[in-house]
């Protein structure tokens, strides 16, 4: 199709250039600031040209702060979230689509509802549950009257206690309690031809053989897409790791970075150190996006459907 589209192409180029500057500008400024010393930033303010103190600021970050250890925590949380979400939601979607079960729609509705209310909204009571994950059991014992029965015979009601605060598991599992993965796999499984199943049955494949030899190889890109998406989401979490881990040793890198900001003591914050932190903390996920862009975009589009 040939037509004169010069005016719109110029406008589109200008718009895209503005968009790219908007995205890259803050990242670039963080990098240039991270390459200046505290004194220079105090005198000159924000500078567009790189300096030569980047290595020193990163060294300070490594020696004076807990960012390295917190990066390890972030890695554990992000990998744990990605792996657990992929495995559990794959199995759940598999059961919902490929088994003859009457309660499938009820379970799916229960899972889907989790998408509506993000963890950040219900953080207060999620914290209480994490402080004692057996508290629902206690409540059930109380409600059913079992506990009054028990206390009559044994003198005291049952009060079970198990806290997962300040543990890696505790930082991970509330993130996994989410329906996006199940939704994504279910949609994918429903697009597969049913004859696949019949053929596999004819060849004598049972449920486990079917999942291993047929479903998994077919879903490789979907799994990769969900893995990238949940890894990034685990790495960038803020509110949950902020309340779920109370000691600096257990906090994630993003929380540790935000803690570098002094609480209003009138002094100018150590911006070069913080910008170096922002760059370092974002490095792993940014590399992942650059290398695995294909899967990320696929994942974002799949979660929409």
Part in contact with another protein (CB under 8 A); list of ranges 29-37, 52-60, 149-157, 215-223: 29-37
| Cα distance between residue 58 and residue 169, in whole Å | 30
| Residue 150 within binding range of another protein, rule CB under 8 A | no
Alpha carbons within 13 angstroms on the beta-carbon side of residue 105 total 1
Q: Judged by CB, which is closer to another protein: 63, or 117? A: 117
Q: Choose between 220 and 264: whose C-beta lies nearer to another protein.
A: 264
Residues 6 or more apart from 60 whose CB is under 8 A from it?
273, 276
Computed on alpha carbons and rounded to an integer, the radius of gyration of the chain in Å comes to 25
List the interface residues with another protein, window 234-263 (CB under 8 A).
Answer: 235-239, 242-243, 254-255, 257-258, 260-261
Provide, rounded to whole angstroms, the least separation between the CB of residue 78 and another protein.
11
Q: What angle do CA 105, 297, 283 make, to 5 degrees?
A: 120
- Would you say 164 and 173 are in contact if contact means Cβ atoms under 8 Å apart? yes
Indicate which single residue of 39, 128, 148, 151 sits in contact with another protein (rule: CB under 8 A): 128
Site for another protein in 176-195 (CB under 8 A): 176-179, 182, 194
Cα(279)–Cα(92) distance, integer angstroms: 37
Return the range that interacts with another protein (CB under 8 A); candidates 23-31, 59-67, 149-157, 216-224: 23-31
Task: Measure the N-to-C terminal CA separation of the chain; round to a whole number of Å.
Answer: 32
Which residues 6+ apart lie within 8 Å of 8 measured at CB?
A: none
Q: Which of 39, 162, 169, 198 binds another protein (CB under 8 A)?
A: 198
Q: Show the binding pattern over residues 208-237: x = contacts another protein (CB under 8 A), - = does not.
A: --x---------------------x--xxx
All residues at 6 or more sequence positions from 72 whose CB lies less than 8 Å from its CB, including other chains: none
Binding segment for another protein among 51-59, 63-71, 173-181, 213-221 (CB under 8 A)? 173-181
Q: Which residues inside 78-107 make contact with another protein, applying CB under 8 A?
A: 88-89, 91-92, 94-96, 98-101, 107
């Amino acid at each position: 199709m040939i037509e004169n589209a010069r005016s719109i192409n110029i406008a589109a180029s200008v718009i895209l250039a503005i968009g790219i500057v908007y995205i890259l500008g803050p990242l670039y400024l963080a990098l240039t600031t991270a390459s200046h010393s505290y004194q220079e930033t105090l005198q000159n303010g924000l500078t567009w040209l790189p300096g030569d103190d980047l290595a020193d600021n990163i060294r300070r970050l490594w020696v004076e702060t807990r960012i390295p250890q917190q990066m390890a925590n972030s890695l554990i949380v992000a990998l744990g979230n990605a792996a657990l979400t992929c495995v559990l939601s794959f199995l759940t979607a598999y059961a919902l689509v490929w088994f003859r079960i009457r309660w499938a729609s009820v379970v799916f509705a229960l899972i889907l509802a989790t998408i509506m209310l993000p963890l950040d909204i219900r953080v207060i009571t999620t914290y209480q549950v994490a402080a004692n994950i057996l508290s629902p059991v206690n409540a059930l014992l109380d409600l059913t009257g079992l506990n009054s029965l028990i206390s009559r015979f044994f003198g005291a009601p049952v009060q079970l206690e198990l806290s997962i605060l300040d543990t890696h598991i505790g930082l991970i599992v509330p993130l996994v309690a989410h329906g996006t993965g199940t939704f994504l796999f279910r949609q994918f499984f429903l697009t597969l031809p049913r004859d696949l199943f019949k053929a596999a049955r004819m060849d004598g494949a049972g449920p486990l053989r079917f999942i291993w030899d047929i479903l998994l190889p077919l879903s490789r890109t979907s799994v990769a897409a969900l893995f990238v998406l949940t890894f990034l989401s685990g790495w960038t979490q803020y509110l949950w790791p902020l309340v779920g881990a109370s000691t600096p040793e257990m906090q994630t890198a993003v929380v540790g970075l935000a803690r570098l900001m002094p609480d209003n003591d009138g002094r100018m914050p150590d911006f070069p150190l913080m910008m170096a932190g922002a760059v370092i903390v974002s490095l792993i996920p940014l590399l992942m996006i650059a290398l695995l862009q294909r899967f990320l975009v696929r994942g974002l589009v799949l979660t929409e459907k």
